Structure 1
Amino acid sequence: MNDSYQVYDSRFRALVQPNAWLERLWTGARWTEGPVYFADTDVLVFSDIPNNRMMRWVDGMGAGVFRCDSNYANGNTRDRQARLVTAEHGGRRITRTEPDGTVTVLADRFEGKPLNSPNDLVVKSDGTVWFTDPPYGIISDYEGHKAAQEQTRCRVYRLEPESGRIDAVAEDFVKPNGLAFSPDERVLYISDTGASHDPDGPHHIRAFDVEDGRRLTGARVFAEVSPGVPDGFRLDTDGNLWTSAGDGVHCYAPDGALLGKIPVPEVVANVTFGGAKRNRLFITATSSLYAIFLSVSGAQAP
């Protein structure tokens, strides 16, 4: 096993490539986030939040600006029609980019009041959009626009894009952040990064059972992540969870055991699977974009 990996459980050896190494693909950001891979065009799109822009990376061609004045976009994903869906700090909203480039607002309020600052999101197979709403984009002007928090809590929401219906599915988070479904969509994982502004705050990932495709039950702590916080994460086809952390990427088995780590020289914010076989893990880390090939593939296209 090369220096690109740290093994904590022998099961990790089957998930990584001993002859693959961590590559820095691009640098020049202030805080990279929200990577999403478009298989039909072989393009990776990601956010550079403080610079208020979204970037585009193409293998062999490098990176360039995808969208200026991105409304301080953070998390990105794709819907089931391969359209870009984005969580905007600055706009305090969830948007969808249509094939002609126009932007449709899917949600910007709950119970008549502005959302806090939508952070990350995932699209379920039924087309619903599940997203987190902490206050990071309104705490200061660095990653959005400083403003009063009008929502009484930092919630997790389920959105039906066609009808516009939005329901709160979890309300007991300090700062809900990354989220992703298990491969069979029976479990939803959600991180709480309250430790980002409170040393005694949570820095864990919780697991919830998904009932009737719309309700969350059976909350339990899946993993405590340290150092740093579990900002964003994705799952592979075997149900292993690959999450950001302060020292790189941590991989957890479905039973919650820490299998291993991929050390990264910058604090990691998020990850996504991509490439022709979805076995390339793209990593957004502070000022840079990294990638490494694995022996497993990502669980779902978004």
Structure 2
Amino acid sequence: MKYPDIYTVEDERFTRLILPNAQLEHLWSGARWCEGPVHVPAGRYLLFSDIPNDRMLRFDETDQRVSVFRQPARFSNGNTLDREGRLISCEHYSRSLTRTEHDGSLTVLAERFEGRRFNSPNDVVVSSDGSIWFTDPSYGIDSDYEGGLREAEMGCHVYRLGPEGRLTRVADDFDKPNGLAFSPDERHLYIADTGATHHPDGPRHIRRFRVNNDHTLSDGRLFAECDYGIFDGFRIDTSGNLWTSSSEGVHCHAPDATLLGRIHVPETIANVAFGGQYRNRLFICASTSLYAIYLNTRGCSILAG
């Protein structure tokens, strides 16, 4: 079967995950750097960050319009939903992790570890037990473009905020920890390291960790190396395939790390998110624009469990 030019099939398994007649849709342009997409099923809309413009945007699936959800947004980056459908956001400028309550008010969940300010929380996921896991590289304090130029108070690490409010550091051996996502059974956590943004020979890979019963991480092994730019944000489908950003488009890796295929996008991608009625629509935040494509697979969702 002939597939559109937007696809590159590297492994036959990829053909079972894509739809030959589905096209890459350009939904909107007008951002400086799109990031942090999260689909809100109750409202049939997608929220995403436009970091340099200090705003969060809202794409409405019902009328295809994009509007401003929040501005200023304290240079928010990664977003997700908790078990109650509340918005969890990583904020560069405030150097904190926040929750948007159902009435629209903001609650600061974490802003320090052992008395020191975070650098700039970047990406975030919530597990089925309600704990919040997030990365803290320095991108938001490296300049005034995506936050505010400030001195780092500690290294770039990965954290877990338990449902009881206890904050722990779960990984401290990263250069620039970035995107992260759980496997469908939550026995593994994938974390990207994008240290190549600061050092030409720095990491541009994803590591896979075992999640232990005591909520610690171990056995952090290399999962995949990016051959086009860096891996930034990514999501995982119900079969455990990992859909990740790169400078040429979306890469799809099987649970065994095999590169199954690529979806080519005309802009550098920062992050992706599954959404739509059946969670089979992949939304793509790509530099100045928002794209989407329907797939023959569904994304994992803690709200669906």
Task: Identify the match of residue 143 of structure 1 among 141, 146, 152.
Answer: 146
Aligned to 1:177: 178
Are residue 241 (structure 1) and residue 242 (structure 2) matched?
yes
Contact 2:126 2:302 in 1 (8 A): no
Consecutive unaligned residues of structure 2, counting only runs of 5 or more, are none
Aligned to 1:47: 49
Consecutive unaligned residues of structure 1, counting only runs of 5 or more, are none
Residue 278 of structure 1 aligns to a residue in which SS?
coil
Contact 2:13 2:260 in 1 (8 A): yes
Task: Identify the match of residue 33 of structure 1 among 32, 35, 42.
Answer: 35
Aligned to 1:230: 231
**How does 1:125-144 map onto structure 2 within 5 Å?**
125-144=128-147
1:87-139: CA deviation from partner (whole Å, max 9, x where unpaired) = 00011000000000000000000010100000000000000000000000000
Contact 1:56 1:64 in 2 (8 A): yes
Alpha-carbon distance in structure 2 between the residues aligned to 1:63 and 1:181:
29
Aligned residues: 300
Task: Identify the match of residue 84 of structure 2 among 56, 78, 81.
Answer: 81
Displacement of 1:213 after TM fit?
5.1
Alpha-carbon distance in structure 2 between the residues aligned to 1:43 and 1:213:
35
Name the CA shift for 1:301/1:26 in 2 (closer, same or farther; >3 Å). Answer: farther
Alpha-carbon distance in structure 2 between the residues aligned to 1:134 and 1:225:
19
Displacement of 1:161 after TM fit?
4.6
Identity rate of aligned residues, in percent? 59
Alpha-carbon distance in structure 2 between the residues aligned to 1:70 and 1:271:
20
Aligned to 1:22: 24
Instruction: Provide the alpha-carbon RMSD of the alignment.
Output: 0.8
**How does 1:206-225 map onto structure 2 within 5 Å?**
206-212=207-213, 214-225=215-226
Residue 11 of structure 1 aligns to a residue in which SS?
helix
Q: Give the TM-score taking structure 1 as reference length.
A: 0.98
Residue 156 of structure 1 aligns to a residue in which SS?
strand
1:4 maps to a residue whose letter is I
Are residue 117 (structure 1) and residue 120 (structure 2) matched?
yes
Displacement of 1:62 after TM fit?
1.2
Contact 1:191 1:203 in 2 (8 A): yes
1:125 maps to a residue whose letter is S
Displacement of 1:2 after TM fit?
1.1
1:124 maps to a residue whose letter is S
Are residue 261 (structure 1) and residue 262 (structure 2) matched?
yes
List structure 1 runs of 4+ shifted beyond 6 angstroms. none
1:198-223: CA deviation from partner (whole Å, max 9, x where unpaired) = 11000000000000151101110000
